[in-house]
Amino acid sequence: MAMSTEKKVGLFFLLALVALGAVIELVEDWSPFEDQTPYLTYFDSGVGIKVGDPVLVAGVDVGKVESVAIEKGKVRIDFYVVEGTDIREDSIASIRKANLLGGQFLGIDFDNPESPPLPPGKALRSRPTTNIDQLINNIDRNQERLMGNLGDFLEESKETFTDAVRQLESVVRKIDQGEGSLGRMVNDPALYDDLHLAVGSLKTFLDRLENGEGSLGRLLKDPTLYDEASATLVNLREISDRMKKGEGTIGRLLVEDDLYVQTGDAMAEIRELAVKVNEGKGTLGKLVNEDGLYDDASAAMQKVNSIAGKIDEGQGTLGKLVNEDGLYRDAKTTINKVEKTVDGLSDSGPLQALGVAVGTLF
């Protein structure tokens, strides 16, 4: 059976698409018009790197891996970069992961930008990389070490943990049985009742505050306190303004310098007076510094004490005047006689009055 024209055309396009895909795959890395500079490097392990993986310098795609082979116990990687790529003698190559799915690339880092360029075909220094197998082995070793140390710790602390658990069980049992303060708090309903009463009292107190009852409630609800405080602040501001302007006594004290000058002069005079007193000048200086006045005053006080003692004992005329009553009675009698004489003189002549006075007194 002959193939129809439509089928021939369809088959032709299908073969053309297959051929196009094969050509694209084969010539993907073919750049006939791009100059390439070859280099190589060595690694102890090249896990994951393969031909065609990109070469990145500072994160920029500049080439491809051309071959991966074993040479003298090392992994040799040949690669190229586009002409003009800055590869220097101290540049370092390393195998890195492009993503978490396992993609690899050959990364090249700069070191010293002043280092001379590396000639084409020369080997770059390399930095060892940790592959997934080494990472798993390290995790396994660390896990074994950690679990071993943890096991040893648990074995050494077994008795301590057992005692702690036993004591904890004892404490929980006592609490459950209502022993001790904590047990009574957990099991005694009085605590709940007291707490309920306290909450009720607090609610009542807050309600009273909300209603403006009591002193605190009035402070919260009555705007008079705020008004008075505002008025007080206004008055204080006015007083402060007046003081700044130098009004009133305090304002003059703050603004004018006369008080300061007078105070300074007074302090200078007091200092000068104190210096004179310390030097023994003047009456006050002699009183402060000389001992003669103290000795004279002490002697005078001793004499006064002696005289007072004699008077108190009734010695001498003054002592008899103070302590004996006879003198008082004689003086009173004499005063009465003088009064009678004066009364008689007013009614008699001179001679008769003289005789009356003599007779009265004697």
Q: Are residues 313 and 332 located together in one domain of the fold?
A: no
Q: Is residue 178 in a domain?
A: no
Residue 51, in any domain of the structure: yes
Q: Judge whether residue 207 has pLDDT over 80.
A: yes
Q: How far is CA 266 from CA 246, 256, 270, in A?
A: 23, 17, 6
pLDDT tens for 68-95 read 999 888 999 999 998 888 888 888 888 8
Task: Tell me the backbone φ, ψ of residue 109, rounded to 5 degrees.
Answer: -110, 145
Last residue of a domain, one of 129, 153, 186: 129
What is the C-alpha separation between 119 and 150, in angstroms, rounded?
55
Q: Are residues 310 and 338 in the same domain?
A: no
Residues 37 and 83 grouped into a single domain: yes
Domain membership flag for residue 63: yes
Q: Domain total for the chain? A: 3
Mean pLDDT (whole number) for 21-48? 73
Asked if the structure places residue 22 within a domain, the reply is no
Residue 47: name the closest of 100, 95, 79 by CA: 95
CA distances from 323 to 27, 88, 316, 318, 330 (A): 153, 133, 11, 9, 14
Give the pLDDT score at 76: 93
| 67 and 52 together in one domain | yes
248-254 average pLDDT score: 74
Q: Of 129, 161, 185, which residue is a domain's last?
A: 129
**216 inside domain:** no
Does some domain include residue 137? no
Across the range 196-218, mean pLDDT stands at: 82
Is 97 in the same domain as 52? yes
Task: Enumerate the β-bridge partners of residue 124.
Answer: 41
- pLDDT given at position 14: 85
Predicted confidence (pLDDT) at residue 23 exceeds the cutoff of 70:
no
The pLDDT, as a whole number, for residue 307 is 83
Domain that holds residue 319: 292-323
Give the mean pLDDT of the chain.
78
Q: Could you tell me if 86 and 104 lie in one domain? A: yes
- How does pLDDT run across 99-157, given as a tens digit for each residue? 766 678 888 887 777 888 889 989 888 888 765 656 676 777 788 788 877 777 777 77
pTM of structure = 0.34
In angstroms, the CA 145 to CA 133 distance is 18
pLDDT computed for residue 135 by the predictor: 64
Structural domain contains residue 247: no
Work out the percent of the chain whose per-residue pLDDT is above 70.
84
Q: 223 lies in a domain? A: no
